[in-house]
Amino acid sequence: MKSEWKTENSEDKFHDECGIFGISKHPEAARITYLGLYALQHRGQESAGIVTLNNGQLNQRQGMGYVADVFTDKNLASLKGTAAIGHVRYSTTGESNLANAQPILTNSARGEMALGHNGNLLQADKIRQELEEEGAIFRSTTDSEVMLHLLARSRLPDLGDAIREVFGRVLGAFSLVLATPDGIWAARDPFGVRPLCLGKLDGGWVVASETCAFDLIGAKFVRDVNPGEAVHMHGEHLTSWTIVEPRETAHCIFEHVYFARPDSKVFEKSVHASRYQMGQQLALEHPVKGDYVIPVPDSGATAALGFASISSIPFQFGLIRNHYVGRTFIEPKRSIRHFGVKIKLNPIRELLENQRLIVIDDSIVRGTTSKKIVEMLRNAGAAEIHMRIASPPTISPCHYGIDTPTYSELIANQMSVSKILQYIGADSLAYLSVEGMKKAVGAEVGFCSACFDRKYPLPDTPRTPQKELFELHRT
C-alpha cells in the first residue's frame, strides 16, 4: 500500500493554503519569480504557477507538484517578459486538480487578467451563487475565479477603481497579486489577516508573502502592504491607494506559531523571535523537572531552545529526522505498525534511555502524531515524558484561509487537557496560554487568535455550529 506521507504526519498540522509573489521589472522576471516561489514552497506544495507580462501579453505556466518539478530551464525560458506573478498552492484532497492551480488567467472585457491569492472570502459561496444566477459559469472552485468575475463585472473603467469597488465590498481575508497588460497589482484586506510584504529589487518592485523570498533574490524589504491598501507596480513606479479604510488589524497569529519560516519577518516581526519567546513563556508558565529538553523536529526547535534557556535544562536533539523522506512511502502489506512518524523520525536510544524528557512541539491538532512520538520515546527507554506545547489548545477552525480540521477532529475541542494527556500517554502535558502567546509576539491586540479562543474578528464570520463545540479550556 502506497500511503501518502502527508496523511500520516504533515496533515496533523494546520496548513497554510498559499504563497504569492510578484515583480514589476526585471529582465528575468520568470526566473526571479521561480526563486521567490522556491523560498515560499513551505506555504503550498500541491501546485505552482507563474504568469509573465511580455509586451502587453500574459503568458502562463502551471502544474501539479513542487516548484522544482513544475518549472524547467526550458519552460522558464518560454515565459518571456519583464514582470510576473507567481503562486504556490496547498489544498485539501477533494479539490486537488489542475483546474484550481493559480494564478488563474482569464479574458474579459477588461482584457487579460491573471490573479493569485492567499486567503479566503467569507461569502464566496453566496457571491458565486449570485453570479451563477446572473449567468456566470465557473471552471474551478477557487475564490480567485470569483474575484476575477467581480472585477470583470465592475462598470468602472479604471482597474484601480474597480479593485477599490470590488475589494472594498467583499468580506474576508485576502492578500492577492494581479497581472494585467498594465502591470502588476497587489492588494490586502482591511484586517491584514494574511501577510504581504513589499520590497525593491534592482529598481523594480516586489511583493511576497514572506521576507524569506526577498532574502533569496536579494531584494530589500521596504514595508508591509498595508491592510486595506492596493498598489500598482508598473516598472519602477509604485502607485498606492486605499481600497477600504483599515480596521483594527487581525493578523493571523498562527503564522508566528507554525506557518512562516523562522528566517522570515511577518507582520514586520521576526518569526524566530516570536517562537523563541513562546518557548520561554511556556517554561515560565509550565515549569517541569527533567534531564533534557528535546524538540519535535523541525517546527518545535526554536521554542525548545527558548524553553531550555529559561529552565536551564540542556537542549538535545533526541529525535533525528530522515532528510530523504519523499512524498510517498510504501508500507509492508501485512504490517500492523503504522510507519507514518517512524519513517520520518527516529529517537537516539543511547541518549534518551532512562532520562526524563521535556518534549516541545509547536501545536497539537488531532493528537495522533503526539501519541506516536510518546510511544516511540517510551520504546527508546525514556523514564518520563513531559509534553509542552508552545501554543494554546487549538479548539476552533479557521475561516480565513487556513486548512484546519473540523471541530470534531480537533482533539482539544473534544477533550480536556487531562483527557488529551491520557490519550497521548505522556507523564504530563501543558499548553502555552493565549495571553502568553500574545506576549511572545509582542502585541496584546491586533492579532487574530480565533483558532485558540473562538473570537473571530471579522464580521459575518460563520457562526460556530453549537453541537460541535466542546467547552472546557476557555472557561
**Contacts of its own copies in 413-452 (CB under 8 A):** none
Of 26 and 286, nearer to its own copies (C-beta) is 26
Residue 427 CB, nearest approach to its own copies (Å): 23
Of 14-22, 157-165, 330-338, 438-446, the window that binds its own copies (rule: CB under 8 A) is: 330-338
Report CA 50 to chain centroid distance, whole Å.
Answer: 19
Neighbours of 376 (CB within 10 A): 17
Inter-residue contact 250 to 457 (CB < 8 Å): yes
Burial class (CB in 10 A: 0-12, 13-18, 19+), 69: exposed
**Lookup: cell for 148:** 476575477
Residue 107 has φ and ψ, to the nearest 5°, of -110, 145
Instruction: Establish whether 212 is a catalytic residue.
Output: no
Is residue 3 helix, strand or coil? strand
Does 311 engage in binding with its own copies (CB under 8 A)? no
Residue in 338, 82, 87 with CA at minimum distance from that of residue 205: 82
Of 138 and 435, nearer to its own copies (C-beta) is 138
Answer for which of 222, 238, 348, 421 binds its own copies (CB under 8 A) is 348
Of 182 and 453, nearer to its own copies (C-beta) is 182
Of 325 and 469, nearer to its own copies (C-beta) is 325
Residues 162-201 that bind its own copies (CB under 8 A): none
Answer for which of 135, 157, 459, 465 binds its own copies (CB under 8 A) is 135
Q: How far apart are CA 414 and CA 420, in angstroms?
A: 9
Answer for which of 239, 322, 416, 422 binds its own copies (CB under 8 A) is 322
Residue 55 CB, nearest approach to its own copies (Å): 16
Task: State the residue for C-alpha cell 507567481.
Answer: 86
Residue in 243, 239, 242, 271 with CA at minimum distance from that of residue 257: 271
Does 310 engage in binding with its own copies (CB under 8 A)? no
Of 63-71, 222-230, 428-436, 463-471, the window that binds its own copies (rule: CB under 8 A) is: 63-71
Q: How far apart are CA 17 and CA 31, in angstroms?
A: 23
Total binding residues toward its own copies, as defined by CB under 8 A: 86
Residue 287 CB, nearest approach to its own copies (Å): 19
DSSP state letter for 244:
S
Of 70-78, 117-125, 233-241, 434-442, the window that binds its own copies (rule: CB under 8 A) is: 70-78
Task: State the residue for C-alpha cell 477557487.
Answer: 142
Of 132 and 158, nearer to its own copies (C-beta) is 132
Strands 251-252 and 447-448: parallel
**Lookup: cell for 324:** 530523504
User: Where on the phi/psi map is residue 195: left (φ > 0), alpha (ψ -120 to 50), or beta?
Assistant: beta
Report CA 269 to chain centroid distance, whole Å.
Answer: 16
Of 311 and 414, nearer to its own copies (C-beta) is 311
Inter-residue contact 19 to 37 (CB < 8 Å): yes
Does 309 engage in binding with its own copies (CB under 8 A)? yes
Answer for which of 94, 157, 326, 465 binds its own copies (CB under 8 A) is 326
Answer for which of 18, 23, 39, 187 binds its own copies (CB under 8 A) is 39
Residues 207-266 that bind its own copies (CB under 8 A): 212, 215-216, 218, 261-263, 265
Q: Compose the 7-26 pattern: x for residues touching its own copies by CB under 8 A, - for all others.
A: --------------------
Residues 282-301 that bind its own copies (CB under 8 A): 298, 301
Inter-residue contact 45 to 38 (CB < 8 Å): no
Task: State the residue for C-alpha cell 502588476.
Answer: 184
Answer for which of 64, 136, 383, 430 binds its own copies (CB under 8 A) is 136
Residues 90-109 that bind its own copies (CB under 8 A): 98, 104-109
Task: State the residue for C-alpha cell 472585457.
Answer: 109
Answer for which of 241, 317, 407, 470 binds its own copies (CB under 8 A) is 317
Q: How far apart are CA 349 and CA 377, in angstroms?
A: 8
- Active-site hit among 18, 212, 252, 448: 18
Answer for which of 21, 38, 90, 185 binds its own copies (CB under 8 A) is 38
* Amino acid identity for residue 419 in this structure: K
Does 360 engage in binding with its own copies (CB under 8 A)? no
Q: Among all residues, which ones are annotated catalytic? A: 18
